[in-house]
Amino acid sequence: MKLFFISRIESFRHAIHGWHYVLRTQRNMWIHSSIAAVVFIVGLWLNIPPRDWAVIILTAALVFSAEFLNTSIEVTVDLASPDTHPLAKIGKDVGAAAVLVAALAAILIGLLLLGPPLLQKLTTLFTVR
């Protein structure tokens, strides 16, 4: 049983190293992280319901996961094909497309969930009484 727990701790350690690598090396991850932070702050300010939080958290996780997988694809392709190769480019481009699809979906979901309450709150704040 002790070995089981030690191996789980090691798995978490490897995952954290992977997360750190992506944050350290991928500029787009900083963009995703910054936008996610703003979305979370706005969600708190708007006091959105739990169901909306669930969708926003899942959406952010989708974008982060896509970026992690894309980075994994890129470094693996670089390892397997250090020279420029058309198939290597396609592999990298398709990985990048996955991140783009996830990010565009996240934008639409954010607008659908946060747009109406944000517009209402801003209208209330800036309406002259």
**DSSP category for residue 83:** S
Angle among Cα 119, 123, 128 to the nearest 5 degrees reads: 175
Report the 10 Å Cβ neighbour count for 3: 7
User: CB-hemisphere CA count at 13 Å for 62?
Assistant: 16
Task: Single out the catalytic residue among 29, 39, 67, 110.
Answer: 67
Start-to-end Cα distance in the chain: 66
Angle at the Cα of 65 from the Cα atoms of 4 and 28, rounded to 5 degrees: 130
Does the active-site annotation cover 67? Answer: yes
Single-letter code of the amino acid located at 102: A
Catalytic residue set: 67
